C-alpha cells in the first residue's frame, strides 16, 4: 500500500527497500569528488542509486597470449594437394601446329544493309586471292532486300465523304448518297452500322427541313410537256397495241418534261431522306435489341421526331405519305399505342392520298 507524503516536512516514505551506493570504486584511484543525491520521492519497490562509478579497463593479468606467426604460411603447410599445371608449348615450335591442320570455317554472311550488299563483291575478291588458306566464300550474289510497303488500313465507310455528299448543293449527289446508304442497310444491316452516327442523322434531318419556297418551280413549258407525256402513258396502258400516240413529242420536249426543277428535286430528296432515316433507325433498334435485349423507346429512336414533324407540317402530300411509310417501317408491337395515335391524326388529313395511306398503316400495325 502506498502511503501519503507529509507535504510540510517533505520526507520520503518507503514501504520496500531503498539502497544508496555512494562513490563506489573498482581498481581505480581515489576520487575526492563525492556526489550525494537526496530524493524526496515515494517508492513502493526497490530503489538503487549508484553514484559516480569508476572501472579500470586494464586487467591486472592477461587472460590469454596469442602466439605470433614466425614465417610465411603456404598451402603446403595446410595439407592441400598441389595442382598440376599444364605444360607450356613453345609457340616458336613449328611442329606444334602444322599448316595442314589449320582449318577455318567461315560462316555464311548475313547482309542486312544495302552497303553490305555493295561491298560483297570486294570482300569475295580479297578472300579468294589467298589460295593457301583454303577459305571458300559462298555469298548470296545479286541478292537484294525487297521492302514491301504496308497497306493503308481504311475504314469501311468514309463518314466525312458521306456527310460531304449529303451536305452538297447538288441534289443528285445527295440522292445517290442516300440510295447507297439504303441499299447497304437493306442488303447487309451489319455493314450499315458505321452510318449510325450523329453527323449522318443530322444531315438527313436538315434535308427534311429544307425551305423550298424560294427555289425555282417548273416552267409553263415543262408543265405542258408533262401533261402531253402523261396522256401518252395513259393511252399506252389502256391499249398496249396502240400504233399512234395522242400527242407527238420529240426528244427535246420529252427531256424537258422529265427534267425536275430545283424545288422538285429538293422535295424528292426529302422523301429519300425520310426513308433513309427509317432504314437506319431500324438497323439501330435491331442492333440494340440483339446486344442488350432491350427495346429502344420510340421517343429515343434517332431521327423519328423529324419524321413526325414532316407528317404534321409539310404541305407536300408526297412527303407526308413518305413519312407514313417511314413510321410503318420502324413500327413494333411495343410502339403500337404511339403509332396508332399518330396514324389516326393523319387519317383525317384533307388530302385523300394521305388519308388512305394512314388508314393502311393503322391496319398494318394492328396485325403485328
Closest to 287 measured CA to CA, from 173, 154, 192, 176: 192
244 shares a domain with 326: no
**Tens digits of per-residue pLDDT, 74-129?**
545 555 555 555 555 555 555 555 555 555 566 666 555 555 555 555 555 554 55
User: Per mean pLDDT, which of 4-13, 28-37, 49-58, 186-195 is the most reliable?
Assistant: 186-195
176 shares a domain with 314: yes
Q: Is residue 237 part of a domain?
A: yes
What CATH code is carried by the domain that includes residue 287? Answer: 1.25.10.10
Counting the structural domains of the chain, the total is 3
Q: Is residue 332 part of a domain?
A: yes
329 shares a domain with 305: yes
Q: Is residue 248 part of a domain?
A: yes
Provide the pLDDT for residue 90: 54
Tell me the three cell numbers of residue 334: 411495343
**Tens digits of per-residue pLDDT, 176-223?**
999 999 999 999 999 999 999 999 999 999 999 999 999 999 999 999
Q: How far apart are CA 292 and CA 101, in angstroms?
A: 79
Q: Is the pLDDT of residue 147 over 60?
A: yes
Q: Count other Cβ atoms within 10 Å, centred on residue 321.
A: 21
339 shares a domain with 238: no
Alpha helices (H) along the chain? 75-78, 114-118, 120-129, 159-166, 171-187, 198-208, 220-238, 251-258, 262-292, 304-313, 317-330, 336-347, 352-366
Q: Is residue 196 part of a domain?
A: yes
Choose between 10 and 198: higher pLDDT: 198
How many helices (H) and strands (E) the chain has is answered by 13, 2
Provide the pLDDT for residue 4: 45
226 shares a domain with 309: no
Phi, psi of 43 (to 5 degrees): -125, 145
Q: Is the pLDDT of residue 155 over 60?
A: yes
Q: Is the pLDDT of residue 261 over 70?
A: yes
Q: Is the pLDDT of residue 23 over 70?
A: no
Give residue 26's domain range.
1-53
281 shares a domain with 227: no
Amino acid at each position: 500500500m502506498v502511503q501519503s507524503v507529509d507535504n510540510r516536512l517533505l520526507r520520503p516514505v518507503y514501504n520496500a527497500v531503498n539502497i544508496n551506493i555512494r562513490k563506489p570504486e573498482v581498481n581505480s584511484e581515489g576520487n575526492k569528488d563525492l556526489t550525494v543525491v537526496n530524493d524526496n520521492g515515494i517508492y513502493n519497490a526497490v530503489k538503487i542509486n549508484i553514484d559516480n562509478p569508476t572501472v579500470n579497463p586494464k586487467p591486472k593479468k592477461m587472460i590469454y597470449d596469442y602466439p605470433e606467426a614466425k614465417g610465411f604460411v603456404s598451402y603446403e603447410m595446410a595439407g592441400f594437394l598441389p595442382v598440376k599445371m599444364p605444360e607450356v608449348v613453345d609457340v616458336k615450335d613449328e611442329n606444334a601446329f602444322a599448316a595442314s591442320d589449320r582449318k577455318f570455317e567461315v560462316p555464311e554472311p548475313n547482309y542486312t544493309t544495302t552497303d553490305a550488299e555493295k561491298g560483297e563483291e570486294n570482300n569475295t575478291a580479297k578472300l579468294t586471292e589467298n589460295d593457301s588458306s583454303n577459305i571458300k566464300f559462298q555469298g548470296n550474289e545479286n541478292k537484294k532486300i525487297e521492302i514491301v510497303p504496308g497497306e493503308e488500313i481504311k475504314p469501311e465507310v468514309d463518314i466525312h465523304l458521306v456527310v460531304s455528299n449529303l451536305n452538297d448543293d447538288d441534289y443528285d449527289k445527295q440522292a445517290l448518297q442516300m440510295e447507297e446508304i439504303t441499299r447497304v442497310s437493306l442488303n447487309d444491316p451489319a455493314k450499315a452500322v458505321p452510318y449510325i452516327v450523329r453527323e449522318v442523322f443530322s444531315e438527313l434531318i436538315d434535308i427534311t427541313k429544307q425551305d423550298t419556297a424560294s427555289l425555282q418551280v417548273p416552267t409553263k413549258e415543262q408543265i405542258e410537256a408533262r401533261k402531253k407525256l402523261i396522256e401518252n402513258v395513259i393511252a399506252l396502258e389502256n391499249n398496249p397495241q396502240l400504233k399512234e400516240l395522242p400527242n407527238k413529242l420529240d426528244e427535246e420536249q420529252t427531256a424537258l418534261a422529265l427534267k425536275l426543277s430545283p424545288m422538285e428535286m429538293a422535295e424528292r430528296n426529302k422523301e429519300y431522306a425520310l426513308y433513309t432515316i427509317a432504314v437506319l433507325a431500324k438497323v439501330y433498334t435491331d442492333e440494340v435489341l440483339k446486344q442488350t435485349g432491350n427495346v429502344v423507346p420510340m421517343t429515343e429512336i434517332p431521327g423519328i421526331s423529324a419524321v413526325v414533324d414532316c407528317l404534321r407540317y409539310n404541305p407536300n402530300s408526297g412527303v407526308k405519305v413518305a413519312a407514313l411509310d417511314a413510321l410503318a417501317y420502324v413500327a413494333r408491337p411495343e410502339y403500337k399505342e404511339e403509332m396508332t395515335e399518330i396514324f389516326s391524326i393523319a387519317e383525317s388529313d384533307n388530302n385523300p392520298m394521305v388519308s388512305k395511306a394512314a388508314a393502311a398503316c393503322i391496319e398494318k400495325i394492328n396485325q403485328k
